[in-house]
Each structure stands twice: as structure tokens, then as C-alpha cells.
């Protein structure tokens, strides 16, 4: 009985642990890991698969433009702070109340401006031209509708949480998927990290004081990388079945990002700049998938067109020849690229309840 009371008390503590954080709004910038509908509204593709089931089947019961079967990390963050889900910026209607925040993220977005990719002859690969800088411009345009005076803005933004990413993954993906080597990807890291920290700086100068900047996920554990870069050499894989080289690259990006965020903290000591360790939060379930309920593993996609990791580029989730698994909650990977709602929940919990946010969110 004492054990039951202890467990109950711990659960109760966890459920109310964010109640003292009085964030009145969340503003989010990023790519498909946090887009709640902007790509769909933008019309960048005539018939995007994320606009139909099985996307959205788990929680919303219909497609919302989220690249998953249900909620994303940003949705769980909104729930944690008892805020409504963030409306996509491009879907805002005249007179709509968005005092609790807005989502500017767009699936396929890059940290670098799209013109850079066109100069490198890979612009045709881009899903969207709505890069991080475009999203920051959207925020600036919307700001006058949020607060009218400097004092009002200071008061409002002190109670607002800004998520800058995850962003940058696509900058590497677009290059990697056209044959770019790890060394070529590494060469672009300083530019990508600079774009992320520059956006963070601009938001601080616009009045943001509470900011979360996530790092990259362990991409060597994703079904798309495991499929496209599969190797016959067992030494290329770690004990979790993930590719070592892409994961080492993700860690390199994250190390560079943390170093630049440290410089930003020194320049803007009044701002609380939090690094979100998506890599560490996700590696927990890649290391022990069964412990987190992923009985079908963490690297094989729930929705796909077959193959060892259920990722087939010619029959991707939502396309002819693909199908979704019966229970997405038993998988960490949703469509080969993105995670399931269950996996995103574990990542969000790792940020909210620790230890994967530095400094702590609580």
C-alpha cells in the first residue's frame, strides 16, 4: 500500500509540475518535425500525402498537416503548459484570436535561405522555399497584431516561450539524398548553425526572453538513412542497429550548436536560452525500445512500402503500395523520416521532466 501511495504521489507531482510556469503563449519555428499545417495550407504540392489518412489517424482521427500519426513534440509542450494547440500561421483568419501563440514551422523548411540550394543546383529538391528567415519575417509582420507598444510587448513576451527548431535537418538531408558525403555535410554545419543562432538572436532583439533551441535527432537511427545508406559492414552499425557515421555527424552539429548558444547567452544574459537535447531524449528508446512500449522496435517504420526498415522511396507512406501498421504506438518511427506520436511524447517528456533541457524548463 505504501508503494502504491508513493507511485500515486509521483504521478500527481509529474502531472502538475509545470503549473507554476505561466507561459501564456508559444511561438514555434521549424520544419516537418513541428509543422501543424503550414505546408498543407501553402499549396506547395498539389496532392500532399500528409493531407490524408493515415497521417493524423491516432489522435485527431483526420489529417491535419502534421507529419505523423498524431501529436508532435510542440503539441505536447502546449498541453504541458495548458495552452491550445498552435494554429498554423498561413491558416490564420482575419480577427482570429492567437494570443496563445502561433506556429510558423513549414515541412521541408531549411535553416539556410532557399536561394543557396538553387545556386548549388539542388533547389528542385526543396519541398518549400519558406526557410527559417521567411518564418522570422512572418513573425515580425504579425508582431504588430500581438502588441502595440514596447512595454506591452515586453510584458507579453516575458510570458511567451519561443521554439527555434528543430531546424537544419533538411539542409543536410537534401544534400545527403543527392549523394553528398559526410565530409561535405560537415562543411555546411557552420553555416547552418549560424542561421539558427542568427534567428534566435533576431527573436531576442524582437523581445523574446524564453527560448528553446533543439538539436538534431540521431539520424543514423532513422529508417530513411538506414535504407539509403545501408552497409554490409557490421562495424558501420552500433549496438542499437543505428548507423554510426550519420549519428556522429548529428552529434557534431549539436556540439557546434551548443557552443554558439553559449556565446549567445553571454551576449544576451537577460534571455533564458534553453538547449533541447533531442538526440539524447530519442536515444533512450533506440537503446531500449521495449522499455518504452515499442514492441515492434524503434528503427522500422510503421507506415511504408516494405523493405528491411519498411521504407521504400517508390512507395512511401500514403502512396500506392504502402500501408500503415495496425498499432503505431508499438513503433517509434512513423513513415521512415518522422516519429510516431508515442515517440514524440517520450521526447517531450524528456524535455519537460528532464534531463534533456539545458537549463531546465522547470
DSSP code, position 87: P
Sheet architecture: strand order including 272-276? 101-103, 25-29, 160-164, 210-214, 272-276, 357-358
SS (H, E, C) 36-54: CCHHHHHCCCCCCHHHCCC
Active-site residue (options: 100, 253, 331, 338): 338
Q: Find, among 356, 321, 341, the residue nearest to 33 by Cα.
A: 341
Question: What is the bridge-based pairing of β-strands 160-164 and 25-29?
Answer: parallel
Cβ neighbours of residue 128 closer than 8 Å, sequence gap 6 or more? 39, 42, 44, 106, 107, 108, 109, 114
**Is 20 tagged catalytic?**
no
Q: Are 132 and 111 in contact (CB under 8 A)?
A: yes
Q: Are 56 and 338 in contact (CB under 8 A)?
A: no
Out of 32, 34, 133, 222, the active site residue is 32
Peptide bond into 70 cis (omega under 30): no
DSSP string spanning 125-163? G-S-S--HHHHHHHHHHHHHHH-SSHHHHHHHHHTEEEE
Residue 80 and residue 75: Cα distance in Å, rounded?
A: 9
- Cβ neighbors of 118 (< 8 A, separation 6 or more) are none
Q: Is 32 a residue of the active site?
A: yes
Q: How far is CA 79 from CA 38, 95, 206, 345, 361, in A?
A: 20, 24, 26, 11, 14
**102, containing H or E segment:** strand 101-103
Q: How is residue 134 written as a grid cell?
A: 521567411
Q: Is 335 a catalytic residue?
A: yes
Query: Which residue in the list 35, 69, 171, 335 is annotated as catalytic?
Result: 335
Q: How buried is residue 300: exposed, middle or buried, by Cβ count under 10 Å (0-12/13-18/19+)?
A: buried
Residues with catalytic roles:
32, 335, 338
Amino acid at each position: 500500500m505504501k508503494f502504491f501511495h508513493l507511485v500515486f504521489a509521483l504521478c500527481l507531482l509529474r502531472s502538475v509540475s509545470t503549473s507554476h510556469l505561466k507561459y501564456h503563449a508559444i511561438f514555434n519555428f521549424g520544419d516537418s518535425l513541428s509543422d501543424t499545417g503550414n505546408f498543407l495550407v501553402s499549396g506547395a504540392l498539389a496532392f500532399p500525402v500528409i493531407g490524408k489518412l493515415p497521417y493524423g489517424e491516432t489522435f485527431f482521427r483526420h489529417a491535419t498537416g502534421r507529419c505523423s500519426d498524431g501529436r508532435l513534440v510542440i503539441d505536447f509542450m502546449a498541453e504541458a503548459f495548458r495552452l491550445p494547440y498552435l494554429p498554423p500561421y498561413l491558416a490564420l483568419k482575419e480577427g482570429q484570436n492567437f494570443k496563445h501563440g502561433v506556429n510558423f514551422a513549414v515541412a521541408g523548411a531549411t535553416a539556410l535561405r532557399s536561394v543557396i540550394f538553387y545556386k548549388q543546383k539542388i533547389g528542385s529538391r526543396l519541398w518549400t522555399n519558406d526557410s527559417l528567415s521567411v518564418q522570422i519575417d512572418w513573425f515580425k509582420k504579425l508582431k504588430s497584431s500581438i502588441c502595440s507598444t514596447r512595454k506591452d510587448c515586453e510584458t507579453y513576451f516575458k510570458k511567451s516561450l519561443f521554439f527555434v527548431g528543430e531546424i537544419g535537418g533538411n539542409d543536410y538531408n537534401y544534400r545527403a539524398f543527392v549523394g553528398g558525403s559526410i565530409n561535405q555535410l560537415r562543411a555546411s554545419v557552420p553555416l547552418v548553425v549560424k542561421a539558427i543562432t542568427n534567428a534566435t538572436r533576431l527573436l531576442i532583439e524582437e523581445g523574446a526572453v524564453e527560448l528553446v533551441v533543439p538539436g538534431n535527432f540521431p539520424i543514423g537511427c532513422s529508417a530513411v538513412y538506414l535504407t539509403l545508406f545501408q552497409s554490409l559492414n557490421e562495424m558501420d552499425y552500433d549496438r542499437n542497429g543505428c548507423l554510426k557515421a550519420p549519428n556522429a555527424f548529428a552529434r557534431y552539429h549539436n556540439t557546434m550548436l551548443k557552443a554558439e548558444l553559449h556565446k549567445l547567452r553571454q551576449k544576451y544574459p537577460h534571455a533564458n536560452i534553453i538547449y533541447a537535447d533531442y538526440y539524447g531524449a530519442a536515444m533512450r528508446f533506440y537503446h531500449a525500445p521495449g522499455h518504452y512500449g515499442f514492441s515492434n522496435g524503434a528503427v522500422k517504420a510503421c507506415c511504408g512500402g516494405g523493405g528491411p526498415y519498411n521504407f521504400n522511396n517508390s512507395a512511401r507512406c500514403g502512396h500506392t503500395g504502402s500501408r500503415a501498421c495496425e498499432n503505431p504506438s508499438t513503433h517509434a518511427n512513423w513513415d521512415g523520416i518522422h516519429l510516431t506520436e508515442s515517440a514524440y511524447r517520450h521526447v517531450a517528456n524528456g524535455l519537460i521532466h528532464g534531463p534533456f533541457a539545458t537549463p531546465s524548463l522547470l
